[in-house]
């Protein structure tokens, strides 16, 4: 557990989800991860610039029926942050393979992706055919990037701008822009985001991880999405200032994949798991526990409602 995660006043289950474990992959790469619960495995993938810390309040509800695994992807959180590799889809596909093998998660797995974790989750799903069901939160999927995404990628590839974007002030601003109520992003939350990036090399790795997923991989995703035959659940905050075209993204997904169940949350922004962790956890827990439709059955869309209790 990091210093930022101590004495937060969390309930015991959330506190347990905050404990960082570590595993070394066959490649020698060391990954940090959080684990809670027993049962069928579900993998939670964070995005930029967060880590498994993002899921700490979501995991308890899901862990009642599942083994919930939330890794810090390479370049993030408590995991290794190499600067001499390319953070492309092939790399992340191999990392997920190795991580699941290292923690003994065999066979089919449920998969949840947020932000950058979304395309990583979908690409792995399409490449490996091991995903039992897929949930996506505020993410990007298609090669036609919005202006905000193109601007961020350019910034992360430009040394002077990169240093600003990955410094403490830059990361704080990203987190604050990603929520409706900036008071949600407390000093403790900021510390949890910032602590892993206290060296120039760690910030370089963060920049690389946020800018090296190749457009061709997004094109592969766009081409293959209509053929996806597993249950798909979408939950997104409508007031997303970091991915302002997120509603268009998921409208397009719904056209490509009519069986997808899409829920929008009016009073939430980009970092939905940070703003509404318990309701999101309940929705994901329900989705993961649902019985998959039998072959040949028409998918029945779920309710387009959201209750933040």
Residue 37 has pLDDT above 60, yes or no: yes
Instruction: Kindly report the pTM of this predicted structure.
Output: 0.91
Provide the pLDDT for residue 290. Answer: 87
Q: Note whether residue 302 is domain-resident.
A: no
- Mean pLDDT of the region 25-45: 97
Mean of pLDDT values over 191-205: 94
| Distance (Å, whole) CA 110 – CA 115 | 17
What is the chain's mean pLDDT, rounded? 90
Instruction: Report the chain's C-alpha Rg in angstroms.
Output: 18
Alpha-carbon distances, residue 1 vs 46, 47, 212, 256, 280 (angstroms): 18, 20, 29, 41, 23
Average pLDDT (108-129) is: 98
The rounded distance, in Å, linking the Cα atoms of 172 and 176 is 6
Length of the chain: 309
3-class DSSP state for residue 116?
A: coil
Identify which of 141, 149, 147 has the alpha carbon closest to the alpha carbon of residue 250.
141
Q: What is the DSSP letter of 299?
A: P
Task: Give me the CATH number covering residue 227.
Answer: 3.40.50.1820
Residues of the domain holding 152: 3-289
Mean pLDDT of 261-290: 96
Q: Report whether pLDDT(184) > 60.
A: yes
**Domain contains 182:** yes
Sign of the four-CA dihedral 179, 80, 74, 147: positive
Residues whose CB is less than 8 angstroms from the CB of residue 34 and which lie 6 or more positions away in sequence, other chains included: 17, 18, 19, 20, 21, 52, 55, 56, 59, 68, 69, 70
Strands 41-45 and 232-237: unpaired
Domain-located, residue 307: no
**19 pLDDT band (50/70/90 cuts)?**
confident
For residues 66-95, give the mean pLDDT: 98
- Going by their DSSP bridges, the two strands 232-237 and 131-139 should be labelled as parallel
Tell me what the mean pLDDT of segment 121-130 comes to. Answer: 97
CA distance 120 to 89: 7
Query: Domain for residue 46, yes or no?
Result: yes
Quick check: 52 and 46 in contact, CB under 8 A? yes
- Which strand (E) or helix (H) includes residue 76? none
Asked if residue 49 has a cis previous peptide bond (ω within 30° of 0), the answer is yes
**78, part of any domain:** yes
Percent of the chain scored above 70 by pLDDT? 88
pLDDT band at 18, cuts 50/70/90?
A: low
Read off the pLDDT band of 11 (50, 70, 90): low
- Rounded to a whole number of angstroms, the distance between the first and last alpha carbons of the chain is 28
Dist CA 203 CA 212 (whole Å): 14
Q: Give the mean model confidence (pLDDT) for residues 91-115.
A: 98
What is the mean predicted confidence (pLDDT) over 248-272?
Answer: 97
- 204 belongs to a structural domain: yes
In whole angstroms, give the CA distance from residue 51 to residue 272: 14
The structural domain count of the chain equals 1
pLDDT of residue 16: 60
Residue 295 pLDDT exceeds 60? no
For the segment 76-102, the average pLDDT, to the nearest whole number, is 98
Domain membership flag for residue 179: yes
Residue 306 is assigned to a structural domain of this protein:
no
Q: Which residue has the higher pLDDT, 67 or 3?
A: 67
**Cβ proximity of 261 and 301 under 8 Å:** yes
Sheet holding 261-265, edge to edge: 21-24, 30-36, 67-71, 41-45, 109-115, 131-139, 232-237, 261-265
Instruction: Identify whether the C-beta of residue 48 lies closer than 8 Å to the C-beta of residue 35.
Output: no
């Amino acid at each position: 557990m990091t210093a930022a995660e101590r004495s937060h006043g969390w309930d015991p289950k959330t506190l347990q989800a905050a404990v960082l474990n570590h595993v070394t992959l066959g490649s020698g790469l060391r990954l940090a991860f959080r684990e809670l619960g027993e049962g069928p495995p579900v993998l939670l993938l964070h995005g930029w610039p967060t880590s498994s810390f993002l899921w700490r309040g979501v995991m308890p509800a899901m862990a009642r029926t599942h083994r919930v695994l939330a890794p810090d992807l390479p370049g993030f959180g408590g995991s290794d942050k190499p600067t001499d590799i390319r953070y492309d889809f092939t790399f992340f596909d191999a990392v997920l393979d190795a991580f699941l093998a290292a923690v003994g998660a065999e066979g089919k797995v449920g998969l949840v992706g947020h932000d950058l974790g979304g395309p990583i989750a979908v690409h792995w799903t399409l490449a490996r055919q091991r995903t039992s069901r897929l949930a996506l939160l505020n993410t990007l999927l298609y090669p036609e990037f919005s202006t905000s995404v193109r601007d961020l990628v350019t910034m992360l590839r430009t040394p002077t701008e990169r240093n600003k974007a990955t410094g403490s002030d830059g990361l704080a601003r990203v987190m604050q822009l990603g929520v409706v109520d900036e008071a949600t992003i407390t000093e403790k939350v900021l510390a949890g985001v910032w602590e892993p990036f206290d060296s120039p090399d760690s910030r370089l790795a963060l920049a690389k991880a946020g800018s090296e997923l190749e457009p061709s991989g997004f094109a592969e995703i766009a081409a293959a999405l209509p053929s996806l035959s597993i249950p798909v659940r979408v939950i997104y905050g409508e007031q997303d200032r970091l991915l302002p075209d997120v509603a268009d993204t998921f409208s397009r997904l719904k056209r490509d994949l009519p069986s997808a169940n899409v829920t929008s949350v009016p009073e939430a922004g980009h970092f939905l798991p940070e703003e509404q962790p318990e309701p999101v956890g309940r929705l994901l827990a329900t989705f993961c526990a649902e019985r998959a439709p039998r072959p040949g059955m028409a998918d029945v869309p779920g309710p387009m409602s959201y209750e933040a209790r």
